[in-house]
Amino acid sequence: MTINLNVTPELERKLKQVARQMGLAPDTYIMRLLQQDLQTRAAPPRLSSVESKLLQQINTSLSAIEWERYRLLQAKRNAETLSAQEQAEFIALSDQIENANVRRMQAVAELARVRKTTVPALVETLGLSPAHA
């Protein structure tokens, strides 16, 4: 296949200069650039073990059954129909959620540091939101 590219004189000059420095013909240099770019785009991003561990911590939450129980107890609390035992259970689940959120945010902050970005930017990139609203 033949593809013709129209490039600015400045870009042509730079391409030829770099190709010459590498001891390549300009078309060979351009082909290598394209192949590298295509390989990079085709390969799934690889996470370091640190990033994998942090993402796992970020995504750890209560089980679906625990969340269901929490919401039921929350509704009963709002209706002022909680028994003393249910109130203790609700408080314990609330504490679990708070502790999990603290660990989650610590992992988010650490991952932001590892990726050299800000926490708000990472939160947006990962599409994070509060575990319950």
Residue 37 to residue 19: CA distance in whole angstroms: 17
Task: Count other Cβ atoms within 10 Å, centred on residue 21.
Answer: 9
Give the pLDDT band (50/70/90) at residue 34: confident
The beta strands (E) that lie in 30-72 are given as none
Residues 6+ apart with CB under 8 A from 69: 89, 93
Give the pLDDT band (50/70/90) at residue 111: very high
User: Does the pTM of the predicted model rise above 0.95?
Assistant: no
- With 80 as the cut, is the pLDDT of residue 45 above it? no
Tokens of 1: 């296949």
Give the pLDDT band (50/70/90) at residue 5: confident
**Mean pLDDT score across all residues of the chain:** 88
- With 90 as the cut, is the pLDDT of residue 22 above it? no
- With 50 as the cut, is the pLDDT of residue 38 above it? yes
